[in-house]
């Protein structure tokens, strides 16, 4: 697919090619009363110089976020900063990013990639947590293992984003049925709340948001123990403003970078349903 054909499809979901372009979008998001988390697009890096360059770009981002006084943290993918080169390379680079997060009193989220990397990502997370408390991870509700992971990981100050999971996984690893995935999302939300953890509910599924709200209200879960998270550019039909006005924190995930094309094509190959969303969303407005 030539880039000029792909660009209009990717454009609503990618906040530009440079950090300056993306931070302009973050400012607009903040002005609407929402927080952001920013991510440089890319993954599966096998070149050591590239992994280190991405690491430096993340460090620079913390500096720019602070200088511009934005309400924004950072999400990274371990394979973007060297996990495929070696766990030691990823650990060194992520430690460098984490130290910069500490310098600026900001937060770092480790995104969760396919199940090939789940164990390694949790190991990296545990190491990060031993040196800085403001670090979080992601729990995917399609994975059969996730409840056990929450039980193991949710100790002091645990902070997890819960999402359904984007990668194609086999049946023995992940639920395939959307209703089961949603049911498990709620199970995980309850497990996190029972451990006093902070949860980021990352979903655009209005029915699931309704179920989460009913649960939060019936159990009196304090609003400062949770936030709702969505991807940049996905139309939410005024739902975010409603949630904000009810007193809930909203965070928008803002991806950007020159690697938008490879990223979008890989996502499409992994999950062709995304193309359906993109086309549907092109005909909808917020």
Ligand X SMILES: Cc1cc2nc3c(=O)[nH]c(=O)nc-3n(C[C@H](O)[C@H](O)[C@H](O)COP(=O)(O)OP(=O)(O)OC[C@H]3O[C@@H](n4cnc5c(N)ncnc54)[C@H](O)[C@@H]3O)c2cc1C
Give me the sign of the Cα torsion angle 58, 61, 62, 63.
positive
Looking at the Cβ atoms of 179 and 245, the one nearer to ligand X is 179
Nearer to ligand X, 103 or 178 (CB): 178
Distance CA 272, CA 81 (A): 26
Q: Can you give the binding site for ligand X, defined by CB under 6 A?
A: 13, 111-112, 138, 140, 161, 163-167, 202-205, 229-231, 234, 253, 274, 277-278, 280-281
- At closest approach, how far in Å is the CB of 98 from ligand X? 17
Helix or strand (DSSP H, E) at 67: helix 48-67
- Give catalytic residues, as residue numbers: 111, 161
Report angle CA 235, 239, 245 to the nearest 5 degrees. Answer: 140
| Contact of 140 with 179, CB cutoff 8 Å | no
In the complex, the smallest distance separating the C-beta of residue 79 from ligand X, rounded to whole angstroms, is: 12
Backbone angles phi, psi at 249, to 5 degrees: -80, 140
Provide the 8-state DSSP code for 1: -
DSSP E strands, 164-248: 198-202, 226-231
Number of Cβ within 10 Å of residue 12's Cβ equals 14
Residue 28 vs 103, nearer CB to ligand X: 28
CB of 107 within 8 A of CB of 73? yes
Tokens of 199: 């949860």
Residue 147 Cβ vs ligand X, minimum distance, rounded to whole Å: 17
Q: Which two tokens stand for residue 147?
A: 């409840």
In angstroms, give the least distance from the CB of 253 to ligand X: 4
Instruction: State which residue, 73 or 140, has the beta carbon closest to ligand X.
Output: 140
Nearer to ligand X, 62 or 142 (CB): 142
Cβ distance to ligand X smaller for residue 184 or 229 = 229
Distance CA 166, CA 42 (A): 15
Q: Give me the least distance between CB of 49 and ligand X, in Å please.
A: 25
CB of 117 to ligand X, least distance (A): 10
Phi, psi dihedral angles at 38 (to 5 degrees): -115, 145
Q: Give the separation between CA 19 and CA 26, rounded to whole angstroms.
A: 10
């Amino acid at each position: 697919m030539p880039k000029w054909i792909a660009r209009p499809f990717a454009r609503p979901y990618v906040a530009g090619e440079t950090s300056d372009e993306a931070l302009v979008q973050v400012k607009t998001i903040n002005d609407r009363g929402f927080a952001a988390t920013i991510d440089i697009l890319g993954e599966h890096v096998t070149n050591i110089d590239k992994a280190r360059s991405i690491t430096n770009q993340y460090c620079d981002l913390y500096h720019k976020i602070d200088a511009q006084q934005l309400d924004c943290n950072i999400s990274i993918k371990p394979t973007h900063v060297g996990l495929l080169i070696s766990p030691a390379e990823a650990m060194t680079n992520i430690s460098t990013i984490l130290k910069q997060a500490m310098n600026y009193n900001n937060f770092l989220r480790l995104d969760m990639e396919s199940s090939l990397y789940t164990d390694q990502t949790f190991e990296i997370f545990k190491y990060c947590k031993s040196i800085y408390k403001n670090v979080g991870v992601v729990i995917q509700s399609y994975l059969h293992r996730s409840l056990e992971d929450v039980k193991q990981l949710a100790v002091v100050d645990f902070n997890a984003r819960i999402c359904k999971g984007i990668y194609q996984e086999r049946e023995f690893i992940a639920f395939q049925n959307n209703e089961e995935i949603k049911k498990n999302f709620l199970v995980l939300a309850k497990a996190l709340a029972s451990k006093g953890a902070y949860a980021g509910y990352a979903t655009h599924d209005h029915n699931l948001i309704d179920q989460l709200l009913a649960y939060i209200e019936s159990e009196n879960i304090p609003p400062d123990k949770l936030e709702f998270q969505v991807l940049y550019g996905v139309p939410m039909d005024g739902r975010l403003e409603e949630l904000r006005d009810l007193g809930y924190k909203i965070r928008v995930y803002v991806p950007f970078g020159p690697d938008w094309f490879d990223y979008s094509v890989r996502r499409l190959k992994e999950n062709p349903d995304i193309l359906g969303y993109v086309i549907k969303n092109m005909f909808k407005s917020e």
